[in-house]
Amino acid sequence: MLFLSTVMFNTAFAGDMAVVPLLSKGLESAKVIQMTNLMSAELDFSGQYDFVDVLESKPSTLTSKCLNSNSCLREIANSNNVDALLAGAVAKVGSQLDFYVVYFDNNMIVRKLAFSLENKSSVIADEMGGYIQEVLTGVKPQKEDAMERPNLETTSSNELLGDDLSLDDLSMDSFDSSGLADQESQKAEEEARRRAEEEARRRAEEEARRAEEEARRRAEEEARRRAEAEIARIKAEEAKQASNNSEDEDLELLFKPSTVELVNEGSETNSNQNSYEEEYTMDLNFDDNSKSPPKRNKPSKKTSSYDNYSSSSYSETTKKSRDNDFAAATIALRFGSSKFQALNFVTYGGEVSYYIKGTPVSINLGAEGYATKRIIPEELLEEGEPPVQWNIILPINLGACAHFKSASGAITPYAGADFMIIPGYVRNTQGVATGFRARGGVDFGIADNLSFNLNTSLGLWSGDGFQYVQQDLTASSFIPQISAGTVFIF
């Protein structure tokens, strides 16, 4: 029976209405669009609104929960500049279609309606209009053999499509469920069966999870046990290997070819060229009855060792190593400059250093010539002598220095002090001047027995006769010096 709009208003509603595309599940999108357009046509035919149109697409905020939310529907209406909305959802249940329609106007939900139609185009076209008028006016349509309306609140949320669509969230303020006892009983049975299946599935998943955890625990325990066993096996093999290596080393040392190195005790400065080694190899082949004399290898300038074992040859143990120890003694020859008050000196001389055994401390004894061009006082001039002359004094130093070898052994800084005596610093007198100085310097290793030396010092000389050496000299004054030279190592 075709439902027509039999309930008309004397005055039309002022404003515009938008029909929102239905939320759906189990239906083709084309069919859902046809039903949405049918609802829009019924509204337009009723004449209750100035303008009725279908939204081009479903709003992203439209969900099953939004159908029961005034604020959500108000936001959709405002965003589309309309006064009223008609929205809803449809779900396919067997051979029927279950509808849930919401009428929104004046910023609030006016009415909700749930109904079912047979899933046939002719039935939908005939009966949709009456339900649209009912949701708008609240008046039920009059028809013969009206199809009973199921309670959609018992419909499972899994039967609907789209986002979080769930008819469980759609509440009916007043919905007549009379005459649906059988259908509700059937749905209750289906729900009970579904819940039983869900519970069985949950239990099966829980059992599977427990079994998986137990299997993982056992696998981890087995892996830990195997790792411990492997570590124990490796340690046992290492201990056995260490024992075998010790035995092998004992045998190797026992049967190692003997090496004797003879070192020429000639010139220390060219010991590498004057040393040679003679190596005798004993044949330990007991299967050969022939006796052969020991073989004598050619003299070699290279020192040998027992296959790179830690013990060194005789020459290596007796030769002084500049990388590991200090020399027994050194001789230094230096050339430099100095200044005492108005006198500028050119210095040259030598120094012998003896190292105290087992320490980096050396005792130093040296003498240097200090040559200067000076003005001789007139009373000291002999007949025919010029007043300006080159003269030399010979200070003698005695002191000690501490040496600090670098990690590489090539650079050795040092610091120390000396007591100084300057005899004969005044001609034709027995006067002696004294002094002391602090000194420091660096030795740069060039070879095992040769270094380059840089030496500096600052001292004080004192003598009553300095005033007779030159007219403008005082009895005492500081004297700096810098010199460089060569150090021979013994």
* pLDDT (tens digit per residue) in 179-194: 344 556 777 888 899 9
Confidence bin at 221 (pLDDT 50/70/90): very high
Confidence bin at 257 (pLDDT 50/70/90): low
State which of 255, 283, 299 marks the end of a domain: 255
**Torsion from C-alpha of 303, 307, 311, 317, nearest 10 degrees:** 10
pLDDT of residue 378: 74
Domain-embedded: residue 5: no
Strand partners, 16: 51
In 138-276, which ranges are continuous DSSP H helix? 181-255, 271-274
Distance CA 453, CA 445 (A): 9
For residue 109, what is the domain's CATH number? 3.40.50.10070
* Residue 71, amino acid: S
State which of 159, 179, 199 marks the end of a domain: 179
Q: How many residues does the chain have?
A: 490
Count of CB atoms within 10 A of residue 351's CB? 22
Distance CA 69, CA 74 (A): 8
Count of CB atoms within 10 A of residue 366's CB? 19
Region 270-278 average pLDDT: 47
pLDDT of residue 14: 60
Confidence bin at 234 (pLDDT 50/70/90): very high
In contact, 413 and 441? CB cutoff 8 Å: yes
Distance CA 401, CA 417 (A): 7
Region 94-119 average pLDDT: 92
How far are the Cα atoms of 399, 404, 459 from residue 413, in angstroms, in the given order?
17, 5, 20
Structure tokens at 43: 């509204």
Region 328-354 average pLDDT: 94
Closest CA to 350 of 369, 375, 322: 369
Q: 3-class SS at 399?
A: strand
Domain-embedded: residue 159: yes
Range of the domain at 364: 329-489
pLDDT of residue 425: 79
Distance CA 366, CA 346 (A): 16
For residue 128, the 8-state DSSP code is: H
State which of 217, 236, 255 marks the end of a domain: 255
Residues 156 and 187 occupy one common structural domain: no
Residues 482 and 335 occupy one common structural domain: yes
Q: How far is Cα of residue 125 from the mean position of the Cα atoms in its chain?
A: 71
Residues 27 and 169 occupy one common structural domain: yes
Residues 227 and 307 occupy one common structural domain: no
Edge to edge, what strands does the sheet with 275-281 contain?
259-263, 275-281, 295-296
Strand partners, 480: 458
Work out how many domains the chain is built from and give that number: 4
Q: Does residue 239 register a pLDDT over 50?
A: yes
